[in-house]
Structure 1
């Protein structure tokens, strides 16, 4: 493990033994300036849908995103009432760091939060963001592939909670299976796994896009069915406590509509690259959601003994 050095808080680098040929595509997807992404996603930079159900006022995409995450924590029995003590957390695919920040705030008793990502651009932002909130000592950042969590420090201290939101949609099947297997080895019996992912109800072999092209927008071309997704978890020692469509399809369409509006408002002359891919994806995925070909799924699982 090597340490990346700079004048600001930074991250450690973990190099795994198996190179992933798809990794560069994912890194490219998040290589633009966070300030450009902020114009589309809002100040939280949350990029995993939003929960608008039973709201009494208009919500920003970021507010709806926090609401969605809190609903997942509630489904896991971690938001209210008595809960198990959480001593160590892994945020697998931490994005720009807001979920890591929320985990630090929601679980005051936890002083060991590891956050991993494969995007140096996002991790640079995370380091600054968490330092600004005086969380640099509690949240340790790693440039690490999701299949290599076995290589994270202190394997004798297992994880009590792992969060994986909007991440496995980028993984090829072999990488997804390797990541779940590695997580199983690093989590204590009874530990909780919280996942949010986009799954294709018709199966990856029969789904057809509303847009007749072959573009792999935002590195989301590795489609998985709910049945396959669940079977991998169960095969590697997880019992699924709750798996449901969440947010509702209409809420994900709502989120896409708001994000597309933000992009078109802030970039009236158009743009290229990942944000343009997101703008086009907003129409493409909204069509698939409206026809119930695809849904966002929330999965709460526990590591069995």
Structure 2
């Protein structure tokens, strides 16, 4: 891969990644941007299309408007054979229900912008993408096991005075586990490319 571009809204994560890349001697091949996903069309070198875009654990945090704008702007920057790979926790409820339950049923992971498979597919197709793969992966029981380990490790490492970031992560694990158990949410992997 000649060039990798990473964008994030977290200065801490970008600094960590930048230091890691520098230690590996790859600084000429990776560019970092502190920006919002919806601003992907403002990145330099618009004439160089993206071959691969990986959005892992990203779309859950985006408002509906931001998600739609992000995917629309991303479509303008994709190579005709490029792939968009998304990994996300999605609900298995009607989007109308999810939108109206924003204030009454807080979801820490989705920042209260819950999405479902139909909505994500509609946004992708509306922006000119064709969905090639949309499958549950990993399975709910595997995610539950990971969440239980995370929760146990946080409690073990921080029996008192848990840092806020870890407390929030523990809260996410605790709130999503019962939803995974009953099948209200699932983790999906999505692969899409521009329609030809």
When normalised by structure 1's length, the TM-score is 0.60
Which residue of structure 2 lines up, in the alignment, with residue 198 of structure 1? Answer: 89
Cα distance 1:180–1:242, how it changes in 2: closer, same or farther (>3 A)?
A: same
Deviations 1:7-52 (A, max 9, x none): xxxxxxxxxxxxxxxxxxxxxxxxxxxxxxxxxxxxxxxxxxxxxx
Which residue of structure 2 lines up, in the alignment, with residue 62 of structure 1? Answer: none
Structure-1 separation of matches of 2:148 and 2:141: 10
Which residue of structure 1 lines up, in the alignment, with residue 62 of structure 2? Answer: 171
SS in 1 for 2:93: coil
Which residue of structure 2 lines up, in the alignment, with residue 278 of structure 1? Answer: 169
Give the Å deviation of 1:286: 0.6
Structure-2 separation of matches of 1:218 and 1:224: 11
SS in 2 for 1:274: helix
1:190–1:304 Cα contact (<8 Å) kept: no
* Bigger helix share: 2
Give the Å deviation of 1:237: 0.7
1:187 aligns with 2:93: no
Give the Å deviation of 1:303: 1.3
Which residue of structure 1 lines up, in the alignment, with residue 184 of structure 2? Answer: 293
Structure-2 separation of matches of 1:272 and 1:161: 35
Mark the runs of 5 or more structure 1 residues left unpaired by the alignment.
Answer: 1-109, 208-212
Structure-2 separation of matches of 1:216 and 1:289: 13
SS in 2 for 1:217: coil
1:146 aligns with 2:37: yes
1:162 aligns with 2:49: no
Structure-2 separation of matches of 1:265 and 1:129: 28
1:197–1:297 Cα contact (<8 Å) kept: yes
Range with greater deviation from structure 2 (285-294 or 121-130): 121-130
* Bigger strand share: 2
Which residue of structure 1 lines up, in the alignment, with residue 151 of structure 2? Answer: 260
1:218–1:277 Cα contact (<8 Å) kept: no
When normalised by structure 2's length, the TM-score is 0.91
Structure-1 separation of matches of 2:60 and 2:115: 8
1:264–1:270 Cα contact (<8 Å) kept: no
Structure 1 ranges of 4+ moved more than 6 A: none
The correspondence for 1:116, drawn from 7, 30, 52, is 7
1:167–1:197 Cα contact (<8 Å) kept: yes
Structure-2 separation of matches of 1:278 and 1:288: 16
1:240–1:302 Cα contact (<8 Å) kept: yes
Alpha-carbon RMSD across the aligned residues, in angstroms, is 1.6
Which residue of structure 1 lines up, in the alignment, with residue 101 of structure 2? Answer: none
Which residue of structure 2 lines up, in the alignment, with residue 250 of structure 1? Answer: 141
Mark the runs of 5 or more structure 2 residues left unpaired by the alignment.
Answer: 99-103
